[in-house]
Chain A
Amino acid sequence: MKRFIVLFFLAACFPLAPNAAAAPQSYFYPFVNPYEATVMELPRNFEVRLPEKVPSREFTLKVFPAREIPPAFWYEDGLVCTLAYQNHRAPLVFIIAGTGASHNTPRMVKLRSALYQGGFHVISLTSPTHMDFVVNASSGLPGDPLDDARDLYRVMEMAYDAVRDTIDVSGFDLAGYSLGAFNAAFVARLDEEEKRFNFSKVLLINPPVSLYESVAALDQLLVENVPQGMEQFDAWFRSVFAEFSHVSREVGPGSLSGDFIYSAYKRFPPNEENLAALIGLSFRMSAANMIFTADVMNGGGYIVPRNARLTATSSLTRYATVSLHTRFTDYFDEWFFPNRRHREPSLTRQALLARMSLRSQEAYLRNADKVGLIHNEDDIILAPGDIDYLQGVFGGRARLFPTGGHMGNMFHPDVVSFMIDFLAGKER
């Protein structure tokens, strides 16, 4: 979803194009504005070279075989994962997708190729916030990192069981990006107790420190950058669409590839507010998808009437509108926190917020030599002070890049080298 929306409208919305300043030393990244860095797809010649084709296959897990899927989700038929396999003995890396992303979004496909090229078997997992996971594999409401970690761990065990006879595995690693990295920290900790995989290495790529603060910040990007405020959201969206159509006509037909967007970027001076608002919108849409799906799967009451019978032909339009106009913070305060407190009556809002932060895992992360970090100093999901905090916790296991925004530089050759070296235990 995220990519779908962002790529679709990107061409219309570039900020005032600054010339890429010379970056220090060998690391060079063409987008120094963090919003640009976050959404711009790198032109091919800035990216690491990846194999065109990787031996891989999809497989489907029935995580809760007795679960009845509501007819509104008629297209859901189990949780799909992807395995990329070596034809020799190799370590297996599980990779967890970011917010609202599935096992086969383009970013996951590239990450899989990069790790395959680095010599690993790879199992790609859909984010616990993606509707496929919520419908097929969540045990309750998504968003509680402890529950999400248990749900992911269950899926990982089943996924390995499903493929273990076809691959020769020498050990296990774990990686994730963005929210998937945050999930990975909690899964790594859980694995210390459960010991099913005994991960050798765990790599966190651009995680948030506080989940709540990060999503609130992303939502603010939308709220603060729609001209005349959210009351005018729909009018703004229509105008962005019209602008997009204009640019794609001017630039000429082209798929929404990095090269196409880059050429649009060079030709049309863009607008920073629109770009920030679109990042916020793509996040808001991911949240809307998750909130609606979780509500239906848990019997309704928040956006959908309790016990509503939604069939394959029911109109969801009004729910779509309500979901899109719901902030993650509304969901947290109005539905998620009361729901958690119902389960744990002594839970306070503060305690739940603390649980939704990497700080709750600090004692573990500080001493876990197996856990490494890649991050960018200008990542837009971080709050002031977060980078220093992460540097302090991870020390020499952190590799921080000066630019790159939120995962914009994920396939920069330097970033990929660090990933592979760290997971292979060859970090310097």
Chain B
Amino acid sequence: MGTVLARIKLLLVILAALLPAAGCSSLPQAVPAGALPLRTYEDVVKEGMSPMFEVDDSLEGFNRGVYRFNYYFDEFLFRPVVRTYETIMPDYAEERVSSAIDNIGEVGNLANNLLQLKFKAAGITVSRFVINSTVGVAGLWDPAGAWGLRRQPEDFGQTLGRYGVGNGSYLVLPVLGPSNVRDTTGLAVDSAAFTLAGPAAWVDNAAITAAYTGTSAVDRRHRIPFRYRQTGSPFEYELLRMLYTMKREDDVAN
């Protein structure tokens, strides 16, 4: 199965295994001894406060390096590809692609809803898959959504969180962006399941799986409105880390 997907999965597994070691490299020393600024952290943060920017990030030096890599990757490769896709495809066709990819993704949602014993959400997911695969022509349209059956997105990171697994350190993944140790593990498991037992295995055709992987990557980027540097903030890394962490806490809780 020498597919792109399998390689991504492998990369993720290797990353998850290697990162704790990479994290040992300490951050560059930012504060020269004995040269305190006028306003210090200690002046501002009183006891009992939990500053919102502070997230467990024991791999920060490594993460910031990957963040920089992602910025250049996005700027010079990923976004140009996505822009070309957006230029070639009419909006209507883009929406059909997104819809079809979401439909295939229902398999993962179903598995994770079941693992979390969310049977009502699992039922909705099955109904959506059946309706959209048939009436919606292989998921190109989303009639189920129009009838009030909303997507019930769940992934294995959320499932782990549901059973009390903590975030672990924040982690910036190459290309994929913000994550944490728990969610990266979840992503690896979801990808493995998709490849070994999910739709990729049913089709069992390397070319089709590779095409799917490429298309879904472009579609995913197309749907994320985030652009590097658009925050206009020197603290963009901190902002993203904080918002990602809050969002995932919320996803797990709901």
Contact = CB atoms under 8 A, between A and B. Distances in A.
Interface of A: 1, 4, 8, 72-75, 100-102, 105, 130-132, 231, 233-235, 237-238, 241-242, 245, 249, 252, 255-256, 285-286, 288-289, 292-293, 295-296, 300-326, 330, 334-335
Nearest to B33: A305
Of residues B225, B246, B247, which shows the largest number of chain A Cβ atoms within 10 Å of its Cβ? B246
6 contacts: A234-B52, A238-B52, A241-B250, A315-B27, A315-B60, A335-B38
Given A322-B39, A334-B38, 12 more contacts: A1-B231, A8-B243, A245-B254, A249-B254, A302-B37, A305-B35, A309-B30, A310-B30, A313-B62, A322-B40, A322-B44, A326-B44
Interface in B195-234: 225, 228-234
A322 B45 CA distance: 8
Nearest to A106: B230
Contacts of A324: 53
B64 A313 contact: yes
A312 B64 contact: yes
Contacts of A307: 32, 35
A325 B44 contact: yes
A212 to B, nearest CB: 19
Given A301-B37, A308-B31, A102 B50 contact: no
Contact of A302 (B38, B234, B243): B38
Of residues B31, B62, B232, which shows the largest number of chain A Cβ atoms within 10 Å of its Cβ? B232
A288 to B, nearest CB: 8
Contact of A237 (B30, B52, B238): B52
B51 A321 contact: yes
B85 interface: no
B234 A292 contact: yes
Contacts of A312: 64-65, 68
Given A74-B68, A252-B150, A322-B40, A309 B28 contact: yes
B76 interface: no
B41 A313 contact: no
A305 B28 contact: no
B230 A4 contact: yes
Contacts of A75: 68, 71, 228-229
Contact of B235 (A101, A130, A306, A320): A320
A100 B231 CA distance: 10
Contacts of B230: 4
Nearest to A2: B232
Contacts of A8: 243
A277 to B, nearest CB: 14
B14 to A, nearest CB: 21
A321 B45 CA distance: 8
B78 interface: no
Interface in B62-78: 62, 64-65, 68, 71
Contacts of B228: 75
A191 B48 CA distance: 53
The 10 closest A-B pairs by CB, nearest first: A320-B235, A313-B64, A305-B35, A325-B44, A245-B250, A234-B52, A321-B51, A318-B41, A313-B61, A314-B30
A1 B37 contact: no
Nearest to B27: A315
A286 B233 CA distance: 8
Contact of B39 (A303, A313, A316): A303
